[in-house]
Amino acid sequence: MREIRFLKSIPAKSLFLSRQHKLRIILYLQVVFLFVSVSVLSAQNTDSLPQNRSVDSVTIDTTIVGTVVIRRKQNKMKFVPRSVSLTNPVISFRQTKALAEEPHRFRVPSFWTNVNQLGINFSEAAFVNWNAGGNNSIAAAGNARFERNYQFRYTRWDNYMELRYGLNLQEEQKLRKTDDAIRLSSTFGFQRDTISNWYYSAKANFNTQFSNGYKYPERETPISRFMAPGYSFIGAGVSYIDKVQNLNLYVSPLTQKTTFVLDQDLANKGAFGVQRAILDEEGNVIQAGENIFLEFGFHVTNTWEAEVYENVLLKHRISLYTDYVREFGNIDVDWELNVDLQVNKYIVTSIGTHIIYDDNVLFNEEINAQGIVVVPGEPRVQFKQLLGVGVSYVF
């Protein structure tokens, strides 16, 4: 470095004219090249031989050509094949297990919901040498319930049918009827939005019975028959129906009630509020009794169904009606309350009560041969209670 700095300070003219300086530069470059060559050779020999071992104990696997090292043994790259194993599939039935549940196939969504329920209840009493006394008896009551309900956006249409019939047989007595009812109901509703539970509704109800009814033990003259009476309610109003459909309240300020008495003998007697027949002095019919009685009034119905306790289902249904024309404020009541105790999927214990009050149904009325009412009857509260254990099947 000192020589280089020195050369920079020498003028160009004296550099080309001085021969001694040229010889010094050539000698300096030869010394530097020799030093570099010795350093490279010593570094290669040190790297190729392991430390702390003698040269004789190590097998030399390289050949030095000048400053290039050529190794005789090269590490080969391991070839990993990338192929697809094509095999024929084999089905083993030993490894195949059946599905625990049937596969759910896709079904087109329907806006209809169906309820089908069939049930029968039994009650029995038997006595053998019983000191307290008693009559052997057996009773059975069957019931059926069907619903077809439609709901889409703002429109709702509920259809309901209930059928009930019961018989009782006691020792030393003839067969008697314990329950008899046919109920049909259809309600059409429309709402302005899907948030509110209120609907503009039109409702139609129909009630009657299957067979003749008697005031036991008298069996000659029936006091009721099929379509005698029969009741129909047709009206319009509003309904409140909750989202889970357990509560249904219907209020109709415009309802027409029709009472049918299609048995002419009962119609001539003026049963269930129809106009009675006009008789002559000998009791012959001059003008037959009316078979239809029309009323126009205010109607309220309410149904509620809920599980009050585990496996205890409460069912409530009530109908209230008052006539605007004849006696406004005189309310006809039809109320049912039933409790079902679900033992298991099929066994059910039922406890039910039924209360009816109708101002047009008179008791203890007496009519003479000329058709004149001697003792006017009076309306009374009608009460029925049922208890039974039976089978119920829903499908």
- 132 and 17 within one domain: no
Answer whether residue 335 is part of any domain: yes
Distance CA 198, CA 200 (A): 7
Q: What is the pLDDT of residues 202-220, one digit of tens each?
A: 999 999 999 999 998 889 9
DSSP for residue 272: G
Q: What is the pLDDT of residues 340-390, one digit of tens each?
A: 999 888 999 999 999 999 988 888 877 776 666 777 788 899 999 888 889
Q: Is the peptide bond before 222 cis (omega within 30 degrees of 0)?
A: no
- 357 and 217 within one domain: yes
Handedness of CA 192, 194, 197, 202 (dihedral sign): positive
- 34 and 165 within one domain: no
Answer whether residue 62 is part of any domain: no
Q: What is the pLDDT of residues 313-345, one digit of tens each?
A: 999 999 999 999 888 889 999 999 999 999 888
- 316 and 239 within one domain: yes
- 32 and 116 within one domain: no
Answer whether residue 51 is part of any domain: no
At 304, the pLDDT band (50, 70, 90 cuts) reads very high
The percent of residues above 90 in pLDDT, for the chain, comes to 47
- 170 and 22 within one domain: no
Strands 137-152 and 373-375: unpaired
- 12 and 149 within one domain: no
The enclosing domain of 307 has a CATH number of 2.40.230
Q: What is the pLDDT of residues 141-182, one digit of tens each?
A: 999 999 999 999 899 999 999 999 999 998 888 899 999 999
Residues 6+ positions from 207 with CB-CB distance below 8 Å: 181, 182, 183, 184, 230, 231, 232
Cβ–Cβ under 8 Å, residues 334 and 319 = yes
Query: What tokens were used for 136?
Result: 């052997």
Distance CA 321, CA 323 (A): 7
End-to-end distance of the chain based on CA atoms, in angstroms?
A: 110
Q: Minimal CA–CA distance to 340: which of 363, 367, 316?
A: 316
Query: How big is the chain by its Cα radius of gyration, in Å?
Result: 54
- 38 and 122 within one domain: no
The Cβ of residue 272 has, within 10 Å, a number of other Cβ atoms equal to 20
Answer whether residue 159 is part of any domain: yes
At 115, the pLDDT band (50, 70, 90 cuts) reads very high
- 142 and 4 within one domain: no
Answer whether residue 79 is part of any domain: no
Low-confidence winner among 74-83, 276-285, 304-313 (lowest mean pLDDT): 74-83
Answer whether residue 87 is part of any domain: no
pLDDT at position 133 is 77
Reported pTM: 0.70
- 146 and 261 within one domain: yes
List b or e across 48-61, with b for residues whose CB sees 16 or more CB atoms inside 10 angstroms.
Answer: eeeeeeeeeeeeee
pLDDT at position 60 is 53
Q: What is the pLDDT of residues 58-111, one digit of tens each?
A: 455 555 555 655 555 556 666 656 655 555 556 666 655 666 777 777 777 889
- 150 and 273 within one domain: yes
DSSP letters for 93-117 = TTS----SS---------SEEEEEE
Average pLDDT over residues 257-268: 94
**Domain of 272, in residue numbers:** 112-394
- 26 and 154 within one domain: no
Answer whether residue 54 is part of any domain: no
Answer whether residue 212 is part of any domain: yes
Instruction: Quote the number of domains for the chain.
Output: 2
Cβ–Cβ under 8 Å, residues 288 and 268 = yes
